[in-house]
Every structure is written in C-alpha cells, then in structure tokens.
Amino acid sequence: MRVVADTSAWVASMNGDDADWLGTKLEDNEYVFATDVVCAELLAARRSRRQHRLVARLATHRRIINLGGMPDMRRAAECMRTSSEAGRTVRSMADCLIAAVCIREHVPLLHNDRDFDTLAELTSLQAIRF
C-alpha cells in the first residue's frame, strides 16, 4: 500500500523515540511518498540538515508525487472552501494542496496535523494520524 507522509509525520518521525522510522521505511523499499509541497516545507525548515537529506533521498528513490496543475489547484481551493463553509477553516493552503494530491491519487495521508483530520471528515481524503 502506498502512503503519502505529510511534513508533520516526517518531523515527528525524526524527532521521536523511533528515530526516523519513515526514513527507514523509505530505505526498506516500503511505499512511503511525499508531495512536492511537503518537500518544499522540509527544505524551508531551518531546523535540521536531516530534512534536506531526506528530500534528496525521496528524490533518489523517486518517491515524490507532484501537483497536477490546475485540477489540483481547484481541488485544493474546494477543500479550503468546504472547510470554511463548515465553520472549520483549515489554517494552510499548503495542507489543502497536499490533500488535493492525495485525493487525486487515492492515497492515504499519514500526518500529525489537526487540519488533515478536518479535511478527512469533510472531503474524500483518507487520513491516518501518525
């Protein structure tokens, strides 16, 4: 089974007791992926060089799923509108973009972010809390 790991899951994995559990799954040829938006968030973080190395490993293993242009942009905007109309506004358009990719690909999202719980309740996003 493929799974996309959100930035929150990668960071929790690298900082947890089971250090870099997701990175190990990546090396073990498990089907762990990230979106290009997740890669950008990892690269933008100033916390750790490990995050930059992780993005390089994801690229090396061809485990990055890219945004699919305007259809994904529209899907992300719909996620944002749907949550707002339900009175449960998602805090980040980046989260909606990540969700849009997962919805398009029918891939569950591994996360540690309450906004994805909201999106899973209101859209067809499959979410697994890390």
Kindly state the average pLDDT of the residues 89-107. 97
* Tokens 């697994």 -> residue: 128
The SS3 of residue 128 is: strand
User: What are the strands, taking DSSP E only, across 6-99?
Assistant: 32-35, 64-65
Give the mean pLDDT of the chain. Answer: 88
* Tokens 């899951």 -> residue: 9
pLDDT digits (tens, 9 = 90+) for 37-79: 999 998 887 666 777 787 888 888 888 999 999 999 999 999 9
Q: List the domains of the chain with CATH numbers.
A: 1-130 (3.40.50.1010)
Whether residue 23 has pLDDT greater than 90: no
User: What are the strands, taking DSSP E only, across the chain?
Assistant: 3-5, 32-35, 64-65, 109-111, 127-129
Give pLDDT, residue 18.
Answer: 58
pTM score over 0.95: no
Give pLDDT, residue 1.
Answer: 79
* Tokens 């305007």 -> residue: 70
Tell the burial category of 104 from Cβ atoms under 10 Å away from its Cβ (0-12, 13-18, 19+). middle
